[in-house]
Chains A and B, each alone.
Chain A
Amino acid sequence: MNVLVILIPVSLTLGACGLVAFLWTIRSNQYDDAQGNAERILIDND
């Protein structure tokens, strides 16, 4: 039982981290060109 006191906050915190990270990606325009980003990895930059 006592382990729940640690586990539940830990699971909530990890989830919240994911949520915050997602909100950050929205704010910084990372979904504006999904197709382009997928292709860009193939461009040789040298």
Chain B
Amino acid sequence: MTVACAACVAVPMADNVAIGPALQFSLPTVHCAACIGKIERGLAQLNGVTNVRVNLSLKRVSISGTVDPDAALSALKTLGFEAYALDLQALETAQDSAGRALLVRLAVAGFAMMNVMLLSVAVWSGAEAATRDLFHLISAMIALPTVAYAGQPFFNNALSALKVGRLNMDVPISLAILLAAGMSLFETLNSGAHAYFDAALSLTFFLLIGRYLDHRTRTAARSAAKELSALEVHTAQVLKGDSAVSMPTLEIRKGDTLLVPTGVRVPIDGVLNSGKALLDRSLLTGESDAVTVLGGAELQAGEVNLGRAITITTIVDGTDTSLRQMAALVETAENGRNRYTSLADRAAQIYAPAVHVLALVAFVGWVGVNGDIRHALNIAIAVLIITCPCALGLAVPAVSTSAISRLYSKGFLVKHATALERLAEVDHIVFDKTGTLTLPAHVDVSDLSADEQSVVTALAQASQHAWSRAVLSELPNTASASLSLIKEEIGEGIQAHWQGQTVALGRGEWLGASFTGLGLRIGESPAKQLHTQERLRDGIAEALDQMKLPCEMITGDRLAPAEVIADQLDIGFMANARPEDKLDRLAALRGAGQTVLMVGDGLNDTAALASAHASVAPSTALDASRNAADVVVLKEDFADLPSLLRIARMTRRLSQQNFAIAAIYNFIAVPIALAGFATPLAAALAMSASSVTVLLSAQRIRFVA
């Protein structure tokens, strides 16, 4: 096979040039005007760029023109921003048409409400006889079409609930809106004193606000899921004759030959054609050490090729990899989680029947008192309007919408609508080790002389390998020695000439030494081993300190590396754990009455992530694990983990307080309505005041650190 040389590997990558408004990158750290200016100016200088636009709310940049994705990515890195390429196909940039339709209904309801309110104020301040009837008639002309148009989301939901014989929140809402509008029309035509057109409209208006916010929360969760799958570019290099073609993984068939360049994940399960391969299996098993496999071995999708470029022959279709099967498994597990009843639903289950009973009692009671059906119906409608769950419909969505956007600005993608409520209940945390608590490769360079350090720096600069980058990050200020004849043996190491001697940085075996790890050899002297060690993720120690919750670590890795990390963080641990062991441990904790938060990234954590009460994954996790997680941390730093829990708890507390506010209003207003003293003015005041208080109170989530 001629393809294994470095140049050939580079060619198909360079061919992969996008045309049109083709590139989007996720920028988790962009946050201000200066960032926007810097990125837009910086990228505009790239060759072929016609337009750059940063979207700060979505933390994304779109680039149009003929641009090489790699060039754009490295330009962003040079500007100092973390950037991740997004797969446009997975993103489906379609407009949110449902959200827009709601917004239009909201606008129409708001317009009608203002105009009718204007006319109502005239009536309330004493318009009489013909003037009052005229005002009521004009109100009816505005209100009736508006209710018919803007109220449709509620009517449709109520109808579909009634069809299956259930009561939901929309039934009393629709009843209140329709009865109020209908009764007011009847009163107007009979020159009655009270009309509730303004109430019918403000009900529609406030409830549409709640509905819109709720929709925003849900689409935020859905688009988070889309953004996540877009983070992974789902293509693979297929060998056709002598050249490699980039193809979507889904279109690859069993028996195709794939090229897997250095540092890239194996896209589809296959058999290794090359003689030997060095693989990182940490995403699948949690092992931190790389494994060497020989030709003919079976490779699983998700393993990372650390060695030189390899070729594999696929043994399944692209639609059928073990990873995809795992993702499907997770989806079924998720259904169990969907059975979790949210705070709002629980409130609705109690509230909806109560409202109906109360209105019925008012009607029957007043018919019994004076036999006047028209009067009794008026009072029953006043009760329905006042108890109508305006504030209730706003209580949860108002808080969770601001909480989710607040978390997004801190680098957390909330994927599940009930995730915050479940996170608030967590009292025990289980961590995975490799890739979650730790990041790979910390190279110990402390016992190298100054000369050796400058040689190592120069050699490392010549390579893109993960170890080289780790070396460079250890020696940021070292001047590099001047080398000549630099040559990289992909998967083995780099060698060059320095002051007449051959110097080499690479794997121990390649250097002719007895150890297997990373080593440095200068001239003929024996190779010197550079100890590589996992590095703790930034901010994790502080985060554990702050959270003050019992934590433990379960890892598939060996005892020794696990112990090192557990000691550093001072937490309990379990090593050599298989995925089933993780599940068993979670089940045991659940049995002991704990609600567990699982934090993990690998395929071996996926089942645990799906079965835990709540789960968090870093953005570097596999697709399957990210799908299983409720929240994905976009930043590399975990220091904000405690504020995720704090915001989740605050969200729950504020939602409960909002329910309380709504309840207090009802306690005061319902007796007045039942007694028959509620005028349309009183109803309008009570309703608006409670809705506005709830909306304002929800904004307090912004002040949680």
Contacts and interface: CB of A to CB of B under 8 A. Distances in A.
Query: Do A and B truly interact?
Result: yes
Interface of A: 1, 4, 8, 11-12, 15-16, 18-19, 22-23, 26, 31-36, 39-44
Interface in B141-163: 142
B36 A32 contact: no
Given A33-B55, A40-B36, A43-B33, 6 more contacts: A11-B118, A15-B111, A18-B111, A19-B108, A19-B111, A23-B107
B37 interface: yes
A8 B138 contact: yes
A34 B104 contact: no
Contacts of B674: none
Q: Closest 3 interchain pairs by CB?
A: A36-B56, A42-B33, A39-B33
Contacts of B33: 39-43
Q: Which of B58, B107, B119 has the most CB of A within 10 A?
A: B107
Chain A interface SS verdict (over half):
helix
A43 B55 contact: no
Nearest to A31: B103
B548 to A, nearest CB: 33
Contacts of A18: 111
Contacts of A43: 33, 36-37
Q: Chain B, interface size: which category?
A: 20 to 34
A18 B115 CA distance: 12
A26 to B, nearest CB: 6
A33 B104 contact: no
Contact of B103 (A12, A26, A33): A26
Contacts of A35: 56-57
Contacts of A4: 134
Given A39-B32, A39-B33, A43-B37, A32 B111 contact: no
Interface in B495-517: none
A33 B57 contact: yes
Contacts of A15: 111, 114-115
A42 B38 CA distance: 12
B464 interface: no
B121 to A, nearest CB: 12
B349 interface: no
Contact of B57 (A11, A12, A34, A42): A34
16 contacts: A1-B131, A11-B118, A19-B108, A19-B111, A23-B104, A26-B104, A26-B107, A32-B55, A33-B55, A35-B56, A36-B36, A36-B54, A36-B57, A39-B36, A43-B36, A44-B37
Q: Which of B34, B58, B103, B111 has the most CB of A within 10 A?
A: B111
A7 to B, nearest CB: 10
B375 interface: no
B36 to A, nearest CB: 6
Contacts of B111: 15-16, 18-19
Contacts of A32: 55, 57
Interface string B37-66: 100000000000000001111100000000
A28 to B, nearest CB: 12
Contacts of B131: 1
B613 to A, nearest CB: 32
Contacts of A16: 111
Contacts of A39: 32-33, 36, 56
Interface in B5-56: 32-34, 36-37, 54-56
B227 to A, nearest CB: 15
Nearest to A39: B33
A44 B54 CA distance: 15
B100 interface: yes
Contacts, number: 51
A9 to B, nearest CB: 10
B187 to A, nearest CB: 20
A15 B37 CA distance: 38
A1 B122 CA distance: 13
Contacts of B134: 4
Nearest to B32: A39
A39 to B, nearest CB: 4
Interface in B628-685: none
Contacts of B142: 12
Q: Which of B56, B104, B134, B138 has the most CB of A within 10 A?
A: B56
Contact of A36 (B55, B104, B107): B55
Contacts of B56: 33, 35-36, 39
A1 B33 CA distance: 55
A34 to B, nearest CB: 6
Interface in B100-120: 100, 103-104, 107-108, 111, 114-115, 118-119
Interface in B523-555: none
A10 to B, nearest CB: 11
B107 A19 contact: yes
B100 A26 contact: yes
A10 B33 CA distance: 42
B136 to A, nearest CB: 13
Contacts of A36: 36, 54-57
A12 to B, nearest CB: 6
Contacts of B107: 19, 22-23, 26
Contacts of B32: 39
Contacts of A23: 104, 107
Contact of B115 (A12, A26, A31, A33): A12
A41 to B, nearest CB: 8
Contacts of B54: 36
Contacts of A41: 33
A12 B58 CA distance: 37
A1 B115 CA distance: 18
A35 B618 CA distance: 25
Contacts of A40: 33, 36
Contacts of B100: 26
Nearest to B100: A26
Contacts of A22: 107
Nearest to A18: B111
Contacts of A26: 100, 103-104, 107
Given A39-B36, A43-B33, A33 B58 contact: yes
A11 B115 contact: yes
A18 B118 CA distance: 16
A43 B111 CA distance: 35
A8 B136 CA distance: 13
B241 to A, nearest CB: 45
Contacts of B34: 42
A23 B107 CA distance: 8
Nearest to B106: A22
Nearest to B56: A36
Nearest to B142: A12
Contacts of B104: 23, 26
A1 to B, nearest CB: 7
Contacts of A31: 103
